[in-house]
């Protein structure tokens, strides 16, 4: 019951927040002077280090892949039977459109995810509809890491006509750089510099999740079928090209691999995607204020903001005991990022935690609650998971939201006293 009731946040967030922001048209925050090319001249590195989409080698302190991002049991690059393709102009659409990419090495399908990366998907589909990618090439192949395309012509000239302003990064959206995933190329040091180029991960490239320059690399889809074409591209004979990386990087296919066309085979629900894109384009402060305003309106009471930076709204005032740091609490809860991505929940089964072992935001927020109460906590990074975040779940320096129902306060049982043989009780 709780799990169903708390989903009102997810189902109503887009329309509710946008209603609170009537008259406000947020725009994507991009660098004021983004680099003009996604391919800076650089010295060739060993293949083991040259893994990212024009990024420096990962830090030696890069975190290992999180447990929930293991390689899929079913390899996404293995060919599957083609499904019946609906008309591109179908009236029905969802947030998971598909495009078919026709190349000189065969065709493959990309399944896009506008629920997680609405700005990126809208940007990519606009280039598809404009025909921008037709005639461009896979210009960079790292057979042990990824293939990259979407920015160069067969004579290795960077395609500039038709390029629109760069978009806001949507890194941290829950999609990871695992095998078969599709991401956006950007400039190192400029999180919001992606335009047209994209890459396909041939292996699990989890180092692209590490925010060495403040952000990782945005994933916005995955290869759905046509793995044979991807494998053929990755197996191309490679060499250098004088117009690419000063002719010092042997990553360019000797025979150009041309994208003949990219066409939509399963349509996007553009109305819903644009709603999500408006939310994604907001900065954290704007989104936090809008979320709090939404909860205040629904709860019929103002938020409480504390000196520590914590804010909370009571959805239901309890009538029982309040916990201390020496107690344990039995709770139902749901944790989300400000972009509405859920990173943890209890479901319908209550969980028990010792107050001394939870994050500071919970400690402060729960001590003023009473049993049978329900509260939404808005926890700043300093009271949550700090600058490190939780790899694969929570980006560093993230404000997080917890919807918590406090069921029971329990005293923590003291550890049994260990006595030595012959020792008398006190």
What domains appear along the chain, each with residue ranges and CATH number?
30-277 (2.40.100.10), 282-411 (3.10.50.40)
Res 426: pLDDT: 60
- For the chain, the maximum distance between any two Cα atoms, rounded to a whole number of angstroms, is 89
Cα gap 3→248, rounded to integer Å: 56
DSSP string for 308-366: TS-EEEEEE---S----TTEEEEEEEEEEETTS-EEEE-TTS-EEEEGGGS-HHHHHHH
**Residue 423's pLDDT band (cuts 50, 70, 90):** low
- Bridge partners of 186, per DSSP, are none
Q: Which residues of 5-30 are buried (b: 16+ CB within 10 A; e: fewer)?
A: ebeebeeebbebbeebbeeeebebeb
Q: Can you read off the two tokens belonging to residue 268?
A: 């996007």
List pLDDT tens digits, range 384-413: 999 888 876 888 888 999 999 999 999 987
Among 168, 405, 184, 391, residue whose Cα is nearest residue 286: 168
Beta strand pairing status for 219-225 and 181-184?
antiparallel
Which uninterrupted H or E stretch holds 183?
A: strand 181-184
Among 30-39, 180-189, 319-328, 355-364, the least confident range: 30-39
> Over the stretch 212-238, which tens digit does the pLDDT of each residue have?
787 889 999 999 999 999 999 999 999
**Neighbouring residues of 389: CB distance < 8 A, sequence distance ≥ 6:** 395, 396, 397, 398
Question: Residue 419's pLDDT band (boundaries 50, 70, 90)?
Answer: low
Q: What is the pLDDT of residues 172-193, one digit of tens each?
A: 888 999 999 999 999 999 999 9
Q: Are strands 238-239 and 138-142 parallel, antiparallel or unpaired?
A: unpaired
């Amino acid at each position: 019951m709780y799990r169903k009731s708390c989903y009102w946040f997810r189902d109503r967030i887009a329309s509710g927040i946008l209603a609170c922001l009537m008259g406000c048209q947020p725009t994507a925050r991009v660098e004021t002077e983004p680099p003009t090319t996604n391919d800076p001249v650089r010295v060739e590195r060993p293949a083991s280090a040259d893994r990212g989409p024009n990024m420096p080698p990962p830090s030696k302190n890069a975190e290992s892949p999180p447990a929930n991002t293991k390689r899929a049991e079913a390899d996404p690059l293995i060919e599957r039977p083609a499904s019946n393709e609906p008309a591109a102009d179908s009236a029905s659409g969802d947030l998971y459109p598909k495009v078919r990419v026709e190349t000189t090495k065969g065709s493959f399908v990309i399944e896009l995810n506008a629920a997680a990366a609405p700005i990126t998907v809208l940007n990519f589909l606009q280039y598809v509809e404009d025909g921008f990618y037709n005639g461009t090439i896979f210009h960079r192949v790292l057979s042990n890491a990824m293939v990259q395309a979407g920015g160069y012509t067969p004579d290795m000239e960077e395609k500039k006509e038709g390029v629109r302003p760069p978009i806001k990064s949507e890194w941290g959206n829950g999609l990871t750089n695992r095998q078969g995933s599709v991401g956006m190329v950007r400039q190192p040091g400029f999180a919001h510099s992606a335009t047209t180029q994209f890459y396909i991960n041939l292996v699990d490239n989890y180092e692209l999740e590490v925010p060495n320059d403040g952000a990782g690399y945005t994933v916005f889809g995955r290869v759905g079928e046509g793995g044979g074409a991807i494998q053929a591209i990755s197996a191309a004979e490679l060499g250098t090209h004088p117009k690419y990386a000063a002719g010092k990087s042997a990553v360019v296919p000797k025979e150009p691999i041309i994208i003949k066309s990219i066409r939509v085979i399963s349509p996007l629900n553009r109305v819903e995607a644009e709603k999500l894109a408006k939310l994604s384009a907001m900065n954290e402060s704007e989104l936090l204020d809008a979320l709090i305003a939404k909860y205040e309106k629904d709860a019929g009471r103002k938020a409480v903001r504390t000196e520590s930076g914590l804010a909370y709204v009571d959805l239901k005032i309890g009538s029982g005991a309040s916990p201390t740091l020496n107690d344990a609490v039995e709770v139902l809860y749901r944790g989300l990022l400000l972009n509405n991505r859920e990173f943890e929940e209890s479901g319908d089964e209550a969980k028990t935690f010792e107050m001394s072992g939870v994050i500071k935001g919970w400690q402060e927020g729960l001590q003023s609650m009473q049993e049978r109460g329900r509260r939404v906590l808005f926890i700043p990074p300093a009271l949550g998971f700090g600058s490190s975040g939780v790899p694969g779940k929570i980006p560093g320096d993230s404000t997080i939201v917890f919807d918590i129902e406090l069921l029971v306060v329990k005293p923590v049982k003291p550890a049994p006293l260990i006595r030595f043989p012959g020792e008398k009780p006190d």
